[in-house]
Structure 1
Amino acid sequence: MTPAPAKKSAERRYHHGDLRRAILTAALDVIAADGPSGLSLRDLARRAGVSHAAPAHHFKDRTGLLTAIAAEGFGLLAAGLREGEDLKDAGVRYVRFAREHPAHFQVMFTPGLLRADDLELTTARALAGDALREAVAGVRPDDLGIDSRLAGVAAWSLAHGFATLLLGHNLDGPVGDRDPEEVFEAVAAMLFRTGDTVVED
């Protein structure tokens, strides 16, 4: 008797340690289509062709799964920000991250969905914060008597606000057919520049 291919494939993924990734990928697809509220561990198990207990084995519960997604997102964001050449480029990369990882982005900034004291999450979030602060430090706000922490808030607010409006299709009119990253760069240039000043005269 030939075993069911789906079950055999699922078992192979499990034994090779790929089931966790498969569940994360399926969850990201669901979130991108229906938002975090559409997420169900039982449905994800069905999609992966495994028992309904399998996702709980890796993530314990829905909150654990969403926390893992957020932690992964902050890690990806931190890596992207560190590749930025200056503050404006870091902002462009922030917007790019939101466009390329919309499901991560939705979950990362919804604290009520997450396990706040999760070590992986707090570590990844701290790395992203450090990367942003490093980008802000490149414009030497302290030399101008500007609170570097507030400068970071200003830069984050601009990039995050633009990304959020973009993902919500609130900028479809103003952006039109133009590259959203180029539009953000133009907007950022109105307010920030690297070098000796932070705010345009």
Structure 2
Amino acid sequence: MTGAPRVVLATRNAHKVPEIRRILESAGSAVDLVAVTEFPGVEDVAETGLTFAENALLKAHAVAAATGLPALADDSGLSVAALGGMPGVFSARWAGRHGDDDANLRLVLAQLESVPDSHRHAAFVCVAALALPDGSSFTEEGRVDGVVVRAPRGQNGFGYDPIFVPDGDTRTTAELSPAEKDAISHRGRAFRAIAPHLAALTLT
């Protein structure tokens, strides 16, 4: 995107880059979003925070400092009421190995096997963070409530999408089209809320 400020997305998750680019473009955010993988020297950031906001800020600040560019990051996960809010910040590594979506999903289903349908409430939560090279930062939270179903359905999503049905729908988020998911998703809400902070970059 010629003339637009370059912003680094602090993720190595290939699914997130086009999703967040779509969300920001739909919100009218005129930035040149590039993945952190375009900067081979940037090291992975340990997600040692106990909240989504802490982890998102850790990643955004580290990438902004390493690249000298504004950096976007998010931390998100599934919060299941019957599991005391877990997996929460541990969603990506709930089964032990980071990013093993199938294993994480199967473990949550196994842990909820004896939980009746009336008590399978859950929420997807996302905090988006924007960090600038001068050390300043902004965060915004997005949330969508729903329930965890008993078996995966759909091919369009990733993570826990195949077992999560948002309130007001009968489909899992993996059965929604990309545009439908962006419109209601926790990540969509968080990044649409962060878009005005990105817009300010074009004014400086």
Q: TM-score under structure 1 normalisation?
A: 0.29
Greater helix percent: which structure?
1
Q: TM-score under structure 2 normalisation?
A: 0.29
Greater strand percent: which structure?
2
